[in-house]
Chains A and B, each alone.
Chain A
Amino acid sequence: MQSNAALEYDYSVAKLFTYTTILFGFLGMLIGTLIASQLAFPELNYLLGEYGTFSRLRPMHTNIVIFGFTLSGIWATFYYVGQRTLKVSMAESKFLMFIGKLHFWLYFFGALVAVVTLLMGISASKEYAEFEWPVDVVIVLVWVLWGISIFGLIGIRREKSLYISLWYYIACFLGIAMLYLFNNMEVPTYFVSGGIGSIFHSVSMYSGTNDALVQWWYGHNAVAFGFTVPIVAMIYYYLPKESGQAVYSYKLSLLSFWGLMFVYLWAGSHHVLWSTVPDWMQTMGSIFSVVLILPSWGSAINMLLTMKGEWNQLTENPLIKFMVLASTFYMLSTLEGPIQAVKSVNAIAHFTDWIPGHVHDGVLGWVVFMIMAALFHMAPRMFKREIYSKKLMEAQFWLQTTAVVLYFTSMWIAGITQGMMWRAVDEYGNLMYSFIDTVAVLHPYYTIRTLAGVLYLVGFLMFAFNMVKTMTASRKLEEEPQFRSPMAA
């Protein structure tokens, strides 16, 4: 082993994933804004023939933001936080450096294949699990490589205990590994039928209600282990580090961790309320969803209390603003989710626009804000330059916050209106409205959502510009900042 005096953390893999976070973030949000526009103005479906229709683009939007943007963000931060909290550099192990780079390049190759196959309409037709079996095989390999990186780094660590963020990264790794494998158990039809049909095509190993149950056990926990657990990992590191305040209660962080692990996996059946799954299972999904408020708020309140006595930083440092708002949106969406999972509320909310409204206050307000804050925090340390513009960051913050509020308020109103109209009956028990009546009423809200998408996308472009300028043209730093990230006015 080299002398520690000459040793530095090696961010080459973290940098690579940072680039793809920005790239996939832009691409995913661009498609998202386009499909939001298509819902408001259907003529926009016919711009690019079959490749531009809502049905072709919607899976691309969800998969690019989940498996492109968020996963890249998770890995960019893991290869940064992992080294720092274990006090070990990737440069100390040629093997781990090779695995890290292979992890990135295989992921990038897999992502390209995934995007192309989805664009061509090759789909397994399960929500958030649309990739066909060859892409699934690549994803499994990428996941194994990440596992080798996690446990390889842990194997050569100097710090004996694992910081709470690492617990969350490990939970993300194990959780998704289990969920992804079980939900993507599929039979490639070409091989079992002796060469009939497309080589890409497959059918699920489960059928009927069982298939739906496994699908939503996966679907909900993809949110748990992709959009919650690793993002909590980030905030437990970046908020204390940026503010210079240790986490308010480490014990509470441990409790919230086990609470979340215990409860989340049982809540998935709230996606199939009022369906053919056993009644006790639906009730269990509802109850566990409500109980989920406790561990979720445990983490969020722990973060807010970390700022105790230091709230002045909220006005002085826009990065703190991003993270505190992220934590607040985490609280909002983890209260909203359980409300929607109550059976009587679900009877109105299910299949309406309130659901994408809920998803987006979570992802736009919590996931994307936290990932952008993490990237901003890492940039001066990875590229040894100060952040290019504080003013731009402030403007971006307010623009995107406005966008999130416009998005979820319009979808709340649209969703509840829709739910009520679908159920409304006249004095003889006949339905009062046809489907197209609801579409006509919802048009203004769809237009507001489109506007929200455009504002959020512009904000993301400001983020991307600020990051690229930080990497290339900002003032160079002599030494690494300890806590607060330096930024030019």
Chain B
Amino acid sequence: MDIRELQGYASFFMTIFLVVILYGYIIHLYRSEKKGERDYEKYGNMALDDEIDSAPIEQNPKTQREKTEGNK
């Protein structure tokens, strides 16, 4: 088997592997929403409610403290 043939097989199996990962991700998204662990759709509101002083959908813990101090 020469190098070109090897490259072809490597490409084929890597594709299969990545397809499995992608489908795994789809299942993960729907399953975690069904179990109530996460609500992905709420992130859509990030574009609509994007004023600088509006409450974040999920506050970044790193800036939580500074913001509270800033508001004093």
Contacts and interface: CB of A to CB of B under 8 A. Distances in A.
Contacts of A157: 60, 63
Contact of A249 (B7, B41, B51, B69): B41
Interface residues of A, number: 44
Nearest to B19: A262
A161 interface: yes
A244 interface: yes
A236 B40 CA distance: 15
Contact of A258 (B7, B22, B42, B69): B22
Contacts of B57: 159-161
Interface string A387-428: 000000000000000000000000000000000000000000
Interface in A80-102: 83-85, 87-89
Given A1-B67, A87-B52, A163-B46, A250 B40 contact: yes
A159 B46 contact: yes
A411 to B, nearest CB: 33
Interface in A36-68: none
The size bracket of the interface on B is 35 or more
A483 B50 CA distance: 11
A87 B40 contact: no
Contacts of A254: 29, 40
B60 A158 contact: yes
A156 interface: yes
Interface in B19-72: 22, 25-26, 29-30, 33, 40-48, 50-54, 56-61, 63, 66-67, 69-71
Contacts of A84: 50, 52
Contacts of B44: 240, 246-247, 250
A350 to B, nearest CB: 23
Interface of B: 4, 7-8, 11, 15, 18, 22, 25-26, 29-30, 33, 40-48, 50-54, 56-61, 63, 66-67, 69-71
11 contacts: A4-B71, A85-B50, A87-B54, A88-B63, A158-B56, A158-B67, A159-B56, A159-B58, A161-B58, A247-B47, A255-B29
Interface of A: 1-5, 7-9, 83-85, 87-89, 156-161, 163-165, 236-237, 240-241, 244, 246-247, 249-251, 254-255, 258-259, 262, 266, 278, 280-281, 284, 483
Given A236-B47, A246-B45, A246-B48, 10 more contacts: A87-B56, A89-B52, A157-B63, A241-B48, A244-B48, A250-B41, A250-B42, A251-B33, A254-B29, A254-B40
